[in-house]
Amino acid sequence: MAGMKLKSGSLGFWGLVFYAVSVIFPAGAFAVTGVTAMTYAGTAAPLAFLVGGATLFLAIIAIYIFSSKVSNAGGYYKYVESSVHNKYLSKSMGLYQLFWVIGDMIAASIIVGWFLWTGLVTLTGYSLPLIAVLLIAFITPIIYLIVGFFSIKVSQKLALIFGIIQIAFFLLLAIALIVKAPYNGAQYFNIGNSTNGLYGFFLAMVVGAFLAYGGYGSIVSFGEEAKLPKHTLKKAIVTALLIMVAFDTFVVYALEAASGPNLGTALQFFAPGLYLTKAYFGIALTLIAFAIVEIAQLMSPVLFGNSASRTIFALARDGLLPKSLTKVHPKYGSPYMSVFVVFAVVVIGIIVTMVPLVALYGESNGLFDSFVIWGTAITIFTLIYHIATNESLPIMMHRLKRMNVVSHVLAPTLGSIIMAVAIYYSLQGLSGPLLTVLVMIPAWIIISLAIVYVRRNKVKMEPLLTRAHPTDSIR
């Protein structure tokens, strides 16, 4: 018979680290997030990744402390709830968190189809028809449905394998490009070289760095399934982010150095990494890179989907969503009913995003805009709940009488300010189909508040963290 308790002790330290690494998708710096950053910031893209990473290290202070006290499948929204006892705030953060993960899965599924389409155009000149791209995009949610249904240990093994392969291959390729490149220099770390000024730089941070690094937070939803979660989660988060900030910045720098003044030409192919690899090393290595990117891009949202199902599980357990979504498989320990919901929503999201945009703007621009729209919207919500988590920290630490002004107030608040500036600039100057973002964000905020209001009398709240109640129990 299905229960309501997730299986504890399923994820170890390195499993958590490479789970986050694989969700971040190391190959993305070579093929996806690096491309979007270079599109908007030009030669300043490596700096956007570096500054974005530094900003998240300011934000990670709050997550580091909260994860040592709160072990719950709700992740971020439970951190806020344990500090600020307001159901409208905390449960809305939970729904923002859900929007982030499911939106990321939709975007990533579209990218699987888009990257295959653009890769074939770049390498062979052949253009796949829309129906083929759509069917390819469906592969991601279908595989997720299978993987998500089974034990989280299966996902952990996949994360270790694909994370190590991506890091090793693209690190060596980046080194090879830098050695061959005639355009090395410090100009790629000058914000004044941003193609579209501050707007372009901060948009590159949002749809490049923040979108990429956001995957490090995927593991906060495994608080009930990790081994010694109050010790391993915080260390795994820091380790994963350290690895990926260094790696992504280095890979994007390698692409910039390899293209130099020809960056515009490389970007015309929507796959500059493939274009440059082919130009420097030939078709054989390019095909290997192409295959690794496509498979890794497929696995990233598959793994990330487990965070979505845990968030739905936690919200349902709290009474915000139907109780049927709390069912856990008796053998595999997976919240399988939540897995089915994630699958259905992602499939619908892919269809309603891709079909109209491709019909209006063609395959090239329509597919690119499809994931940029989702990438921008979900990253805004990511930054919003990061800000909420940051600003909840001093409230909790004051209550616990352990306040340190520098580490608990100033550093997280500085991170919040940079995030707020990034939100402001990234929303300035949006045009064409990207204006959809300005509808999606307020719409989901209103919908979230409405859901909480309708369920207000059935919603459960966790107790506040106090000196008498210093840690949140694992349900």
Write the single-letter amino acid at 99: F
Q: Does position 358 have pLDDT exceeding 70, yes or no?
A: yes
Confidence at residue 475, expressed as pLDDT on a 0 to 100 scale: 42
Predicted confidence (pLDDT) per residue in 314-323, tens digit: 999 999 999 9
Which range is most confident: 70-74, 369-373, 432-436, 440-444?
A: 440-444
Q: Which of 426, 347, 459, 456 is nearest to 36 (CA)?
A: 426
Average pLDDT estimate for 250-260: 92
Is 474 part of any domain? Answer: no
- Per the CB < 8 A criterion, the answer to whether 332 and 9 are in contact is no
Predicted confidence (pLDDT) per residue in 41-74, tens digit: 889 999 999 999 998 888 889 999 999 988 899 9
pLDDT confidence bin for 328, thresholds 50/70/90 = very high
Is 320 part of any domain? Answer: no
Joined tokens for residue 215: 């995957």
Q: Does position 468 have pLDDT exceeding 60, yes or no?
A: no
Confidence at residue 324, expressed as pLDDT on a 0 to 100 scale: 94
- Per the CB < 8 A criterion, the answer to whether 26 and 247 are in contact is yes
pLDDT confidence bin for 36, thresholds 50/70/90 = confident
Joined tokens for residue 181: 């490149």
Instruction: Give the global pTM.
Output: 0.88
Average pLDDT estimate for 106-132: 85
- Per the CB < 8 A criterion, the answer to whether 150 and 334 are in contact is yes
Rg (CA), the chain: 21
pLDDT confidence bin for 125, thresholds 50/70/90 = confident
Confidence at residue 98, expressed as pLDDT on a 0 to 100 scale: 95
- Per the CB < 8 A criterion, the answer to whether 275 and 286 are in contact is no
The H or E element spanning position 240 is helix 229-259
User: Total structural domains in the chain?
Assistant: 1
In terms of Cβ atoms closer than 10 Å to its own Cβ (0-12, 13-18, 19+), residue 404 is exposed
The H or E element spanning position 110 is helix 87-124
Is 475 part of any domain? Answer: no
**446 to each of 95, 228, 331, 377, 384, how far by Cα in Å?**
11, 37, 38, 15, 15
Is 47 part of any domain? Answer: yes
Joined tokens for residue 346: 């992602």
Position with higher pLDDT, 119 vs 405? 405
Q: For the chain, how far is it from start to end, CA to CA, in angstroms?
A: 18
Phi, psi for residue 42 in degrees, rounded to 5? 60, -130
Confidence at residue 1, expressed as pLDDT on a 0 to 100 scale: 40
Q: Does position 158 have pLDDT exceeding 50, yes or no?
A: yes
Per-residue buried b or exposed e for 100-132, using 16+ beta carbons within 10 Å of the residue's own CB: bbbbbbbbbbbbbbbbbbbbebbbeeeebebee
Which CATH number does the domain housing residue 163 bear? 1.20.1740.10
Spatial separation of the C-alpha atoms in residues 15 and 12, rounded to whole Å: 5
Is 198 part of any domain? Answer: yes
Residue-number span of the structural domain to which 430 is assigned: 17-137+157-300+349-454
Q: Does position 223 have pLDDT exceeding 50, yes or no?
A: yes
What is the sign, positive or negative, of the torsion defined by CA atoms of 427, 428, 430, 435?
Answer: positive
Confidence at residue 2, expressed as pLDDT on a 0 to 100 scale: 52
- Per the CB < 8 A criterion, the answer to whether 105 and 141 are in contact is yes
Is 6 part of any domain? Answer: no
Average pLDDT estimate for 468-474: 47
Q: How long, in residues, is the chain?
A: 475
Predicted confidence (pLDDT) per residue in 192-208, tens digit: 888 888 888 988 888 88
Confidence at residue 94, expressed as pLDDT on a 0 to 100 scale: 95
- Per the CB < 8 A criterion, the answer to whether 309 and 6 are in contact is no
pLDDT confidence bin for 87, thresholds 50/70/90 = very high
Is 95 part of any domain? Answer: yes
Predicted confidence (pLDDT) per residue in 365-400, tens digit: 888 899 889 988 998 998 899 999 999 999 999 888
Q: Does position 342 have pLDDT exceeding 90, yes or no?
A: yes
Is 174 part of any domain? Answer: yes
Spatial separation of the C-alpha atoms in residues 414 and 167, rounded to whole Å: 31
Spatial separation of the C-alpha atoms in residues 173 and 30, rounded to whole Å: 10
Q: Does position 473 have pLDDT exceeding 50, yes or no?
A: no
Spatial separation of the C-alpha atoms in residues 60 and 79, rounded to whole Å: 13
Confidence at residue 244, expressed as pLDDT on a 0 to 100 scale: 95
Predicted confidence (pLDDT) per residue in 15-31, tens digit: 999 999 999 999 988 88
